C-alpha cells in the first residue's frame, strides 16, 4: 500500500493557513500537529469539534499521527452524542470553544499551554507520511432522508480525491489557491474542499467559518489572490440579495444541493468569477463537477465511472472503492458525462402522476420573490391520516394566494401543496441542508397550530 504525505507543500515557508490576518507556515503547522499529538488522551475515536478551521486541521493531523479515527457526525445533538457513545465507548471530544457536547473533553488550547519540550527544532521540515490504508474518519450522512449512517474513509482515497478535485479546478503547487469556506470542515464537502484540497494542492485555508455576507466579504479580503469561495446555493443567494460587495474572487465552488443555471449565471456576473459545482455523496466523496452557467451536464473525475445495475447507478474506480450505489437518479450521456434528476427518495406519485421533490423545489424557488422553499411529503405510517403534499416558503412581500397562483403556472394541480406555509426562515443546518426530521417538525407544528389532526387539508 502506498504512503501519502500529510501535506504536499514544497517548503516549510509556504503558507498553509490564514488566521486573524496572519499567515501560518507549513513548518509551524507541522510543529503544532506534533505538539497536539503528544498531548491527546488515549482513545481510538475522537470527535473533532474545533470551530476554527486551522485548529480542526491540526486536530486531524494529530489524529493521523496517533492513528485515531476522527468522528464527523452531522450534528452535536444529545441524541447523536448518545449514538456515538454507544458505537465508540472510548470517544472523546477535541474542542476549542465553549460547547454543550456531552462527551469527555480535551481543550485544544491545553496542548499549547506550556512551552514545547520535545518538538522538532524550528529548522526541521519533515512531512509525515501516512499509509494509504490507514482509517482517517467516520463521516456520517446528513440525515436528509433518514437516520445518519457512518462511512469510514481512508487516507489514500481521500488524498486521491483531493488531488482529482484540485486538478479539475486548475489548482496546483504551481498555482495554489487560498480557500475561504462558509461550510464547516466536519461535513464531507467542507472536509474535502476547504481542507484536504488545500493540503494537497499547495494551497492555504482561511481559519474562519463566515456566515453573514459582511463576514464573508471580510474573510475573502483577508487572503491574497488567487482566492476561492467554497460555499452553498443558500449562501450565494443570500450574498446576491444582500448587496454586499465582495473583494475580487478567482473561483466560486458550490455543493450540497444542485444549483439552477439562472442562479449560477447571476453569481458569475455579480462576482466576475467562474462558478463550479461539485457532485458527490458521503458514501463516495466527490465524483464529478460542472460549470453550471454553461451546461447542465456533470463530468466525472478521472478514473471514476458509473455503471447501471439492479435498477440503480453505481459509482466506482479512482478513489471510490469499493463500488457504491448512488441514492440519486442519474442519466448517463456517455462514459464521462451524466445528468442529475434528483434523489431516489424524492420520487413521489400522486393520482397516477410522478414527480420529484427536487423538481418541485426548483419551481418554487424560481418564483420571483421567493428566497427559500421546500416541499415535503409526510410518510404514510399512520393509515388513519389523509396525507397531502406540503410546502414551506420564505417569501417576504408575497401573500399565500399570490404564491399559489404563481405555482399553478409551473406545476400540475396534483402537486399543488396543501397546505402552503409561509415562514420567516427554514431550519437549514450549517451546510444549508434540510434534514427530513426538521421538515417533519415543521409539519407537526403546523398541524398542532391548525388543529387539523385528521389530515393535512389546510390551504
pLDDT in tens, 75-90: 888 888 998 999 999 9
Portions of the chain given CATH number 3.40.50.12780: 3-342
Res. 129: pLDDT tops 80: yes
Classify domain 3-342 at the CATH topology level. Answer: Rossmann fold (3.40.50)
Give the mean pLDDT of 13-26. 96
Sign of CA dihedral 407, 413, 417, 418: positive
Is 27's pLDDT higher than 50? yes
Sequence ranges of the chain with CATH classification 3.30.300.30: 351-450
Among 162, 229, 168, CA closest to 198: 162
Which band of pLDDT confidence, cut at 50, 70 and 90, is reported for residue 353? Answer: low
Q: Which CATH superfamily is domain 351-450 in?
A: ANL, C-terminal domain (3.30.300.30)
For the segment 257-309, what is each residue's pLDDT rounded down to a tens digit?
Answer: 888 898 999 999 999 999 999 999 989 999 999 999 999 999 999 999 999 99
**Confidence (pLDDT) at 331:** 93
Does pLDDT of 388 surpass 90? no
Q: Average pLDDT for residues 220-240, to the nearest whole number?
A: 94
Question: Residue 265: what pLDDT?
Answer: 96
| Confidence at 412, pLDDT banded by 50, 70, 90 | confident
User: pLDDT exceeding 70 applies to what percent of the chain?
Assistant: 92
pLDDT at 325: 93
Specify the pLDDT at position 80: 87
pLDDT number for residue 104: 95
Residue 194 grid coordinates: 476547504
Percent of the chain's residues with pLDDT above 90? 68
Angstrom distance (rounded) from CA 293 to CA 56: 33
pLDDT attached to residue 121: 56
Instruction: Report pLDDT for 437.
Output: 84
pLDDT band at 455 (very low <50, low <70, confident <90, very high): very low
Structure confidence at residue 386 as a pLDDT band (50, 70, 90): very low
Q: Is the pLDDT of residue 22 over 70?
A: yes
Q: Residue 153 in contact with residue 177, Cβ under 8 Å?
A: no
Average per-residue pLDDT in the chain? 89
230 grid coordinates: 467554497
Confidence check: pLDDT of 316 > 90: yes
Q: What is the dihedral of CA 32, 38, 42, 48, to 10 degrees?
A: 0
Query: Region 137-143: what's the mean pLDDT?
Result: 80
Band the pLDDT of 140: cuts 50, 70, 90.
confident
- The DSSP result for 211-276, as a single string, is -SHHHHHHHHHTSPSSEEEEE-HHHHHHHHHH-PPPPP-SEEEE-SSPPPHHHHHHHHHHHTS-EE
Give the residue from 409, 149, 443, 110 showing the smallest Cα distance to 282: 149
Give the pLDDT mean for 52-69. Answer: 98
Indicate whether 381 pLDDT > 70: no
What is the reported pLDDT for 75?
82
The Cα–Cα gap between 107 and 116 comes to: 17
Give tens-digit pLDDT for 319-350.
Answer: 999 999 998 889 999 999 999 987 777 777 77
Q: Residue 274 has what pLDDT?
A: 97
Amino acid at each position: 500500500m502506498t504512503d501519502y504525505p500529510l501535506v504536499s507543500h514544497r517548503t516549510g515557508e509556504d503558507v498553509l493557513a490564514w488566521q486573524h490576518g496572519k499567515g501560518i507556515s507549513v513548518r509551524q503547522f507541522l510543529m503544532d500537529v506534533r505538539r497536539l499529538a503528544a498531548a491527546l488522551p488515549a482513545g481510538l475515536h475522537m470527535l473533532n469539534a474545533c470551530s476554527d478551521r486551522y485548529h480542526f486541521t491540526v486536530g486531524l493531523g494529530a489524529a493521523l499521527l496517533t492513528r485515531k479515527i476522527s468522528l464527523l457526525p452531522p450534528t452535536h445533538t444529545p441524541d447523536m452524542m448518545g449514538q456515538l457513545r454507544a458505537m465508540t465507548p472510548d470517544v472523546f471530544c477535541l474542542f476549542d470553544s465553549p460547547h454543550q457536547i456531552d462527551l469527555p473533553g480535551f481543550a485544544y488550547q491545553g496542548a499549547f499551554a506550556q512551552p514545547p519540550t520535545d518538538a522538532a527544532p524550528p529548522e526541521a521540515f519533515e512531512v509525515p507520511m501516512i499509509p494509504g490504508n490507514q482509517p482517517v474518519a467516520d463521516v456520517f450522512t446528513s440525515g436528509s432522508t433518514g437516520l445518519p449512517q457512518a462511512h469510514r474513509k481512508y487516507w489514500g482515497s481521500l488524498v486521491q480525491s483531493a488531488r482529482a478535485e484540485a486538478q479539475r479546478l486548475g489548482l496546483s503547487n504551481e498555482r495554489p489557491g487560498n480557500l475561504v469556506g462558509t461550510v464547516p470542515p466536519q461535513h464531507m464537502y467542507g472536509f474535502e474542499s476547504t481542507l484536504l484540497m488545500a493540503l494537497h494542492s499547495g494551497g492555504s485555508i482561511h481559519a474562519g467559518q463566515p456566515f453573514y455576507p459582511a463576514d464573508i466579504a471580510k474573510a475573502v479580503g483577508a487572503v491574497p489572490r488567487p482566492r476561492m469561495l467554497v460555499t452553498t446555493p443558500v449562501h450565494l443567494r443570500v450574498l446576491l440579495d444582500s448587496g454586499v460587495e465582495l473583494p475580487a474572487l478567482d473561483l466560486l465552488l458550490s455543493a450540497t444541493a444542485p444549483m439552477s443555471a439562472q442562479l449560477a449565471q447571476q453569481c458569475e456576473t455579480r462576482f466576475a468569477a467562474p462558478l463550479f459545482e461539485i457532485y458527490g455523496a458521503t458514501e463516495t466523496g466527490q465524483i464529478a463537477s460542472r460549470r453550471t452557467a454553461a451546461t447542465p451536464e456533470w463530468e466525472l473525475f478521472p478514473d471514476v465511472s458509473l455503471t447501471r445495475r439492479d435498477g440503480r447507478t453505481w459509482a466506482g474506480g479512482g478513489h471510490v472503492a469499493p463500488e457504491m450505489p448512488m441514492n440519486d437518479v442519474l442519466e448517463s450521456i456517455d462514459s464521462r458525462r451524466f445528468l442529475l434528476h434528483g434523489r431516489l427518495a424524492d420520487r413521489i406519485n400522486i393520482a397516477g402522476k410522478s414527480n420529484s421533490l427536487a423538481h418541485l423545489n426548483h419551481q418554487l424557488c424560481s418564483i420571483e420573490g421567493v428566497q427559500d422553499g421546500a416541499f415535503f411529503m409526510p410518510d404514510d405510517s399512520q393509515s388513519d391520516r389523509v396525507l397531502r403534499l406540503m410546502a414551506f416558503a420564505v417569501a417576504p412581500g408575497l401573500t399565500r394566494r399570490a404564491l399559489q397562483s404563481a405555482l399553478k403556472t409551473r406545476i400540475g394541480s396534483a402537486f399543488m401543496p396543501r397546505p402552503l406555509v409561509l415562514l420567516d426562515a427554514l431550519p437549514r443546518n450549517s451546510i444549508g441542508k434540510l434534514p427530513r426530521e426538521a421538515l417533519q417538525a415543521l409539519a407537526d407544528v403546523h398541524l398542532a397550530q391548525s388543529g387539523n389532526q385528521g389530515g393535512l387539508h389546510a390551504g
